[in-house]
Chains A and B, each alone.
Chain A
């Protein structure tokens, strides 16, 4: 197995951009492991597959050189995450089609009770009826990301396009809870 520098060279990353990407090696490995673990993959299997996956990931990154040059830190990690998911999904698809569903299903199955409750309670209608709510879609998305998908407020804040200052998700969620409480009482 080659080390990261060899892999970076091999993938056409020789030069300065290779040096920029090398510190991301650890992140890439952890993203691959997180994705693989969600499919029920074992540590032993990961250890044997990691070499090939890292190699594949760097090849995929080589195709995205142009995007990488202009990307900021968070964007680069998002690219790495997408590539890691794609690689693990392709692997599990090849091994067993049922496992592939697990990659996407395992997250939302964490809190099925709340999910079921939200089906009963039409949150969107409730928020729509709130004349003070100027940002319905975004608030609804934040609400569902937290209560249905079980993302933490910090994870939600890490989504750059939401452009949220620190601790604002907690404030939004508290605000939504208060707004929804009368509705749930009804």
Chain B
């Protein structure tokens, strides 16, 4: 009796085994305890239900990853070129390192120019400015000129938030607008469970993940935004935010591609002008 390979079992579980082979596989599995045991192990391991204990362990591992300093990819020897690993050169020649540094410098310069303008001008700008870089669904354009720290300073105990009596989506958006990302994630996740096909909820949840303090949440943000775009590839806020998420993850070519995709959908609005500025910044590097 020829037993099923682990690849065959994987294809069987994933539904990519040719139909002609499915019958043979099932015939074998019905009779062979060993192969059936391997199949059940694979099914059990890939079960989509994450228990609290598992979520906690996975969270701990991710947290321990974050505690250690991030290391540029080229610090590690690539398998195909083990001899090319020269840490000191890799540090200074890594173009990502240089582009991120340049971005920070240019952004700091732009912010300084804006903040050095008159107080009244600054006040006017702040009144219509958005608190973070992401684009909340349905929000009018506001220039992004403030840092997250400035916003969080506003949340003093003497001025507690007046929480509206509303559904999960509204509460999530309320907390998002007030830069309370932890609560925003909590309510928007509940809202997503209620309305899994809602583009605006997925988009805003993506922002909440992206703007939260956990770096690993960027991955979740990409997932949510991509889901939104899978539902509607021309959904402007998700196109806009996905570019930011890619940029923060270090996927600069993808970020640029995403910005260009955005301009195909919207080339006139104030959001589009910001996208064009971002692209120009990138092209000047």
Contact = CB atoms under 8 A, between A and B. Distances in A.
Interface string A70-83: 01101111111110
Contact of A22 (B30, B50, B249): B249
Contacts of A105: 37
Give 8 closest A-B pairs by Cβ, nearest first.
A160-B15, A75-B14, A23-B223, A78-B14, A149-B40, A81-B46, A9-B73, A140-B30
Contact of B22 (A12, A145, A148, A161): A161
Given A10-B78, A82-B10, A85-B6, A29 B58 contact: yes
B36 interface: yes
Interface string A58-78: 010000000000011011111
A36 to B, nearest CB: 10
Contacts of B70: 2-3, 6
Contacts of A138: 26, 30
Contacts of B55: 30
Interface of B: 6-7, 9-17, 22-23, 25-27, 29-31, 33-34, 36-48, 50, 54-55, 57-58, 60-62, 64-66, 68, 70-73, 76, 78-79, 215-216, 219-220, 222-223, 226, 246, 249-251, 253-254
Contacts of A27: 46
A179 interface: no
Contact of A74 (B15, B44, B50): B15
A133 interface: no
B9 A161 contact: no
Chain B interface mostly: helix
A43 B33 CA distance: 30
* Tier of interface size on chain A: 35 or more
A2 B14 contact: no
Given A1-B65, A22-B249, A137-B26, A75 B16 contact: yes
Given A2-B73, A4-B216, A5-B250, A74 B45 contact: no
A15 B73 CA distance: 13
B32 to A, nearest CB: 10
A71 B43 contact: no
Contacts of B10: 75, 78-79, 81-82
B14 to A, nearest CB: 3
A84 B45 contact: yes
A104 B38 contact: yes
B61 A47 contact: yes
Contacts of B25: 161
